[in-house]
Chains A and B, each alone.
Chain A
Amino acid sequence: MFDIISKQLIAPAVWRQTIKAPEIAGKRQAGNFVIIRPKVGSERIPLTIVSSDNQRGTIDIIFQVVGATTMDLAEVESVQDILGPLGHPTHIANFGRTAVVGGGVGIAPLLPIAQALKQAGSRLTTILGARSKAFLILEEDMAPISDQLLIATDDGSKGQKGLVTEILKPLLEEKKIDFVLAIGPVVMMKAVSELTRPYGVKTMVSLNPLMIDGTGMCGVCRCKIEGQTKFACVDGPEFDGHQVDFENLTRRLAMYKSEENQRREARK
């Protein structure tokens, strides 16, 4: 069992939890994720580690309540099982003028990578997207590490009204960006990758396919990268956005939609 030290609702249905997991905290690097099983009988789901505190032996996760498993996770006082840190850590270097683009809860996995890139000397243009001001998370954490912070909301309640790509496009046009890292909904990562392709700007994305074990055993997380099959859990989760087959990812993510809906309704 892993005790939840604190939990905080940071946006509608979006929770931040600090969990006691000293062995994972001790090994975790930016870009790593964990597999969490909230209760006996629960599903196993992947979540990125947002931050860790090696002194206190804790890790932080952020998740949106979308289905039965995340409903359980929001309610428990301690977590039954956590496995990690998993996946390849992010390749961190000074990439020069870097745009870090985050959408929705995708800002959570973006934060630790942005922090590490900044520390390595990259100059950060941070572009955050959300449905509205209320759904925008981690702005206060992103602000101090960003050389420039730009926000887009669907309804214009904060920052520019519209999409993150509308903010990114003129920057690419003016040749102000050398490297892009985008994490968020698949449609956003796909749009960013399509946008940067003609400019030849290297663009990394972090993929979030279905997973079970997270150790390379089941293969449900297989993605198509440049036509090759890769397992996001052990080969990723970050890949070159210009090589990712996003159609395939979208399709595979929808595989259990009706079962997920049914379990969510049954859980209510």
Chain B
Amino acid sequence: MPLNLNRVSMPEQEPEVRCHNFKEVNLGLSMESARAEAGRCLFCKRPTCIEGCPVSINIPHFIRAILDNDPHEAVRRIRVDNPLPAICGRVCPQESQCEAACVLNKKGAPVAIGALERYVGDYAIREGLKAECVVKEKKLKAAVVGSGPSGLTCAGELRKLGYAVTVFEALHELGGVLTYGIPEFRLPQEAVVKFEIEALRTMGVEFKTNRLIGKTHLISDLMEIEGFAAVYIATGAGYPQFMRIPGEDLNYVYSANEFLTRMNLMQAYQGDAAATPIFVGKRVAVIGGGNTAMDAARCALRMPGVEKVSLIYRRSEKEMPARVEEAKHAQEEGIEFQFLTAPTEYLGTPEGAVRTARCIRMALGEPDASGRRRPVVIPGSEFEIEVDAVVVAIGTQANPIIAQTTPGLETNKWGYIVADQNGLTSLQNIYAGGDIVSGAATVILAMGAGRKAAQAIDRALSVPAPH
């Protein structure tokens, strides 16, 4: 049989329509197209796609169920490895993971694994399929700190292994970056994020919001007073970084975290109907080239009154860390990309609102430590652009609270928690993973760390205590 290289394409809202609304851009596959796509899978004897997945989802197994026209079974199969398929199907960089490893990728048309994963996750949502969880209770308690992707995955895995799991979240909503960070048009909050978190609750995972570990409870309180046998710290790298250039403290210069938190968690995208305001004006500059920068730029573009959004990135398009799909969507929607450009200073109005971004052009020099060519300043290339708001999306750092309040917890020179390949920290039965260990990375890598740590916790606690 000849190889079918006719890869399905994801239906999406037209750019000129979607740039005025916050509804989801990608619309999902129909049953027919999902089955046709599933039919392209070669069901390899040694499935390289599984090796390409940080949580080792048994990909051909759930694709087979789609092909067999049994989406119910596909849901059951995918949930064995991943409690968040509708989320991962939307936000994972499949093109550099499972799909990159697909043998059909050599022919330029890998199976659209991400779209199929999303199809299965969405089927569960549409049919309201509750997660089955028959567990052998272990009568041991485990705590998870942070309800982002890493924490949720670890919690689900520990619950399946029989632990009584409590997840502590500092904010008033669960989900971490899935809730405060990723916008509605990429990841619908009510329909998708809340559903998949609810599914974990049905499995018996307990959630406590409004608890900042390190303040409301110390890590040692969880172990010694609350009686948790193990703790998994997954607090993310949510500490905003600025460039330390003049004028960054002017009004309406936002960190990406602030901008997206106002927009998403506090729902400022709803305009005057929201209690929490946001000001974007007419001309917005977003600094950075990652997924967060794309999210911020595309949020800004969708706000009423916005005329121009410029994305300012110091390297060239090739080095941009954002997913190709995100950059493509942003470009289609009319975001102006200023590559090889960096701001050097912001100037403000007499009232202190940002008005001008002074920028400079860059050229690519020798590769730096990251292997990407280092941008170097072109002398005399300064120019100015008029702006009403600026979003600084150049990355995040480690939040210091847990490190400051947990004696003996080893951190590296950047403040990230030091953990071994299983997530074990310098303290007994205290594990950590996700961005607070690795620095800012992807949802799926954080999930992989959560799953690994859950299994390591189980191994550690299953060893009988010495007498």
Q: Which residues of A contact B (CB under 8 A)?
A: 23-24, 27, 37, 41-44, 68-69, 80-86, 212-213, 215-220, 222, 224, 229, 234, 248, 251-252, 254-256, 259-260, 262-263, 266
Q: Which residues of B contact A (CB under 8 A)?
A: 170-172, 180, 209-212, 215-217, 238-240, 242, 244, 248-249, 251-252, 254-255, 257-258, 261-262, 266-267, 272, 274-277, 279, 351-352, 399-401
* Cross-interface CB contact of B210 among A81, A218, A262, cutoff 8 Å: A81
Number of A-B residue pairs, CB cutoff 8 Å, is 112
Beta-carbon nearest neighbor of A86 in chain B: B215
Decide: B212 and A212 in contact? CB cutoff 8 A.
Answer: no
Cβ contacts under 8 Å, B400 to chain A: 216, 234
Cβ contacts under 8 Å, A224 to chain B: 249
B137–chain A nearest beta-carbon distance, Å? 26
Beta-carbon nearest neighbor of A248 in chain B: B249
B391–chain A nearest beta-carbon distance, Å? 11
Cβ contacts under 8 Å, B212 to chain A: 83-84, 86, 215
How far is B352's CA from A41's CA once the two chains are assembled, in angstroms?
Answer: 29
A139–chain B nearest beta-carbon distance, Å? 32
Decide: A213 and B170 in contact? CB cutoff 8 A.
Answer: yes
Decide: B239 and A252 in contact? CB cutoff 8 A.
Answer: no
With A41-B275, A44-B266, A251-B351 known as contacts, the answer to whether A23 contacts B261 (CB < 8 A) is no
B379–chain A nearest beta-carbon distance, Å? 27
Cβ contacts under 8 Å, B172 to chain A: 37, 44, 80-81, 83
With A69-B275, A212-B261, A212-B266 known as contacts, the answer to whether A218 contacts B240 (CB < 8 A) is yes
Chosen A-B contacts, 16 in total, with CB atoms closer than 8 Å, are: A44-B172, A80-B172, A83-B170, A85-B216, A86-B212, A86-B215, A212-B266, A213-B261, A215-B212, A215-B399, A217-B399, A218-B257, A218-B258, A219-B257, A220-B255, A259-B277
Cβ contacts under 8 Å, A216 to chain B: 238-239, 399-401
Beta-carbon nearest neighbor of A87 in chain B: B215
Besides A229-B249, A255-B279, 9 new A-B residue pairs in contact (Cβ under 8 A), listed by A number: A83-B171, A212-B262, A215-B170, A216-B401, A217-B180, A219-B255, A234-B399, A252-B352, A254-B351
How far is B258's CA from A222's CA once the two chains are assembled, in angstroms?
Answer: 11
A-B interface, 8 closest residue pairs, ranked by CB to CB distance from nearest: A259-B277, A251-B352, A218-B258, A219-B255, A81-B172, A219-B240, A217-B238, A255-B251
Beta-carbon nearest neighbor of A68 in chain B: B275
Decide: B249 and A252 in contact? CB cutoff 8 A.
Answer: yes
Cβ contacts under 8 Å, A23 to chain B: 211, 216-217
Decide: A213 and B239 in contact? CB cutoff 8 A.
Answer: no
Beta-carbon nearest neighbor of A233 in chain B: B401
With A212-B261, A216-B399 known as contacts, the answer to whether A251 contacts B251 (CB < 8 A) is yes
Cβ contacts under 8 Å, B210 to chain A: 81-83
Decide: A217 and B257 in contact? CB cutoff 8 A.
Answer: yes
* Cross-interface CB contact of A212 among B258, B279, B351, B352, cutoff 8 Å: B258
With A212-B262, A218-B240 known as contacts, the answer to whether A262 contacts B272 (CB < 8 A) is yes
Identify which of B180, B258, B275, B351 gathers the most chain A CB atoms within 10 Å of its CB: B275
A73–chain B nearest beta-carbon distance, Å? 12
A114–chain B nearest beta-carbon distance, Å? 23
Cβ contacts under 8 Å, B248 to chain A: 229
Beta-carbon nearest neighbor of B353 in chain A: A255
Cβ contacts under 8 Å, A220 to chain B: 254-255, 258
How far is B180's CA from A37's CA once the two chains are assembled, in angstroms?
Answer: 16
